[in-house]
Amino acid sequence: MSKTIDLQVEKSSVLLKGLRNNIAELANKGITANQLNEMESDLKALKAANEECDHIREGLSAKVKAMNAILNHVKDSFADKKKVVKGYYTQEEWNRFGVMDKR
């Protein structure tokens, strides 16, 4: 669970417990049991959504690592092929092999 979500869940849970313990006193202040039930339901939904996000992050992290490995392989292959062209041909000929001169 992310630190922000974890902290909010903890604070909200403590508040809910305190409000429920004093619901009779708070009724004339506009706080109802239905509101607290709704808040508790929202808190459960937040926990579930956060767990889903954590699960997706784990899967995404693995995919990003795999993508970066492929990217590194492609970059290395690109650099090796480019070195061949630059090593055997003059700068004027590089363009016909797809090697752009950035100068």
Core vs surface per residue 17-33: b (16+ CB within 10 A) or e: eebeeeeeebeeeeeee
Would the pTM of this model clear 0.85, i.e. be above it? no
Give the three-state DSSP class for 81.
helix
At 101, is the pLDDT very low, low, confident or very high (cuts 50, 70, 90)?
confident
C-alpha span between 22 and 37 (Å, rounded): 14
pLDDT tens sequence across 55-99: 999 999 999 999 999 999 999 999 999 999 999 999 999 999 999
Domain boundaries, the chain: 3-97
16 close to 43: Cβ distance less than 8 angstroms = yes
CB proximity list for 76: less than 8 A, separation 6 or greater: none
pLDDT tens sequence across 9-38: 999 999 999 999 999 999 999 999 999 999
Phi-psi region at 81: left, alpha or beta (left = phi > 0; alpha = psi -120 to 50): alpha
